[in-house]
Each structure stands twice: as structure tokens, then as C-alpha cells.
Amino acid sequence: MESSASANRMGSWALYGALLAAWTAMLGSLYFSEVRGYVPCTLCWYQRILMYPLAGLIAFGILRRDRHLPLLVLPFSLLGQGVSTYHYLIQKTTIFGAPTACAAGVPCTTVWINWLGFITIPLLAMIAFLLITIAMITAYYSNQPDEESETPLRWPVVAVIAGALLLYGGVYAQAQAAKEAKAAALPVTVLAGTEHAEHNPVEPAAASPALEEGKTLYAQACAACHGADGAGIATLGNGFDTSAFMAESDDTAVLAMVRAGREPGAVENTSGVAMPASGGRPDLTDQQLAAIIGYIRSEFTQK
């Protein structure tokens, strides 16, 4: 009897763990796209399609004490595991050949984050799907409570969802406040940069990185949204050849704008999509960004 009760508790905790993993993954992906401005690629959307329903499905399954919940969840989590694993492998290896651009214009090899040198968004998704899969298998093989039992308890479902939403709301509000502060400070930076020079970079031209480095970095960090030819991609990034900001601002001002990012509602932003701070590549140094800016000016704004 004690062994059965222990198995029941294990199954219940597994379900709560799956619920927490699903909500963390869903709100985490929304944070990356809606707060940080990282544009999801096609494979990212496939993973969202498989993850987002689980946030509701697991919650309702626990509330209804549905013994068949693992059988409903496992097809989603296993398929999601496969997609996220494939996505991570094309980011970090050459097993599947050369990188290709997704239909949305953003290459699926784009690495928006690279924590500790190996943690990317697909890896985070893969971990979430794996945790949900393990939890569902655990719940399936545990002795599930009968209808008369009060376990699994229903109130943890509300607690998990409320806690996740409150945390996301707090982070979102803080990020928006930081963005507004940066946006308010940006015009001052631009004016300060344009008072003394027309197109002089942050450092003298002789100290700027080679254009070849700028070309390589542009292809890696910018071409996905602004196009290989710098003409821009609709709903992703502006073109440089018609950019009044690039024509009227010096490199100091452009670098400040890139570091701050640009909101969808900014006057100069005609794409309707947020440009993430540092172009989504916070790992790039000021010198590397200066090399990119020099390449853009050389190839796309002086024709």
C-alpha cells in the first residue's frame, strides 16, 4: 500500500514537472521573440507548434485527472524532441550539409544566443521536450490515482501557471522600461556623434578592421534580415541603399543604434519588426561591428 502511494506521488510530481517545463519553454520562447526581438526561423515555429499546445493540454489533463494524458502528450514531445535535436545539429555541426535559409528568410543556423559556447535556443527546447517526455513516461508507469483520490492535487496547476505568468510579466515590463530608456537616450547619442564628423568611424579609418572581416561578419550576423545585397528583406530588415539614417549618421551613431536595437514603431524602422540589441549578436565587439559598418558603407551605401 505504501509502495502504491509512493508511486502515485511520483506520478503526480512528474505531471507537475511536465507542466512547469511546458510553461517555461512557452514563455521563454515568447521572451526571446517578443522581448529580445529574435526572429524565429521555420524550425523554431515547428517547435512552437509542438510545445505551445502542451502548456494547455497538460494543465487540463491534470485538472481532469486524465489517466490517458501521457498518451496524448508523448506524440508531441517526442516529435518536438526530434525537431529540436535536428535544429541544434544543423546549428553546431555539418552533418546535414551546408546551411540553408528558411522560408521566413532567417537561416535556421542563426545562433541568437550561445551561452557557455554550446547552449542555444534549440538546445533549450530540446531539454524541455526531453523533460516532458521523461515526466510522461514516469507518470504512465506510475500507479495513477483512482477517481476517489484527491491526488494529483489541482491547486499546483494554478500556482505553476500564475507564477510563470507573473515572472514573465515582470521580466517583460522591466525589459520594456529598459528599451524605452535606451530609445529616449538614442537621439542624444546620434546628435552627439554627428556634431563633429559626417562619416568618420569610432576610431580613425586606419585603425578600422579590414573590409574582408566586415564582409564575413555581415554574412553571418546581418544578411539573414538585411539581405546578402543589403537591399533588405520585407518584414525582416531595412535596406541600406535607401536608408536616410545610414546616409546622415556617422559610424559612432550607427554603432550606438545597433547596440541599443530598434523598436518596430521607430520612425526609421520600416520593416515593422524589432531589431534586437546588438543585432542579436551581443558577442560581437565594437571593433567587429565597426568592421560591419565599414563594409556596409563600402558595398551598399556608396553606389
Q: Are residues 32 and 77 in the same domain?
A: yes
Asked whether residue 206 is assigned to any structural domain, the reply reads yes
Please state whether the predicted TM-score (pTM) of the whole model is above 0.75.
Answer: no
pLDDT digits (tens, 9 = 90+) for 39-91: 788 899 999 999 999 999 999 999 998 989 999 999 999 999 999 999 999 98
**Range 205-211 contact pairs with CB under 8 angstroms and sequence separation of 24 or more:** 208/287, 208/290, 208/291, 208/294, 209/287, 209/288, 209/290, 209/291, 209/294, 210/291, 211/291, 211/294, 211/295, 211/298
pLDDT score of 288 more than 70: yes
User: CA dist 215 to 206, 211, 294, Å?
Assistant: 17, 6, 9
Reported confidence tier of residue 108, pLDDT bands at 50, 70, 90: confident
What's the confidence (pLDDT) of residue 160? 94
Q: Is residue 190 part of a domain?
A: no
Inside any domain, residue 189:
no
- Judge whether 184 lies within some domain: no
Are 6 and 116 part of one and the same domain? Answer: yes
Question: Which segments of the chain does DSSP mark as H helices, in order?
Answer: 2-30, 42-64, 69-92, 121-141, 155-194, 211-221, 223-226, 244-248, 251-260, 286-300
Tell me the residue length of the chain: 303
Say yes or no: 166 and 202 in one domain: no
User: 128 vs 231, which has greater pLDDT?
Assistant: 128
To the nearest whole number, what is the mean pLDDT of the chain? 82
For helices 155-194 and 2-30, give the axis angle rounded to 10 degrees.
Answer: 20
**CATH number of residue 219's parent domain:** 1.10.760.10
- Per-residue pLDDT band for 105 (boundaries 50, 70, 90) equals low
pLDDT band at 188 (very low <50, low <70, confident <90, very high): very low
Where does a domain end: 174, 205, 235? Answer: 174
> Do 112 and 248 fall within a single domain?
no
Residues 161 and 208 in one domain: no
Q: Mean pLDDT across the stretch 233-262?
A: 85
pLDDT, residue 36, reads: 78
Same domain, 168 and 35: yes
CA 248 to chain centre: 31
Q: For position 86, what pLDDT does the model report?
A: 96
Q: Last residue of some domain: 111, 140, 174?
A: 174
Same domain, 101 and 237: no
Q: Is residue 129 part of a domain?
A: yes
User: Quick check: is 118 in a domain?
Assistant: yes
Indicate whether 34 and 145 sit together in one domain: yes
Its domain, for residue 213, covers 196-300
What value does the mean pLDDT take over residues 218-227?
83
Q: Has residue 205 been placed in a domain?
A: yes
Quote the number of domains for the chain: 2
C-alpha cell belonging to residue 244: 536616410
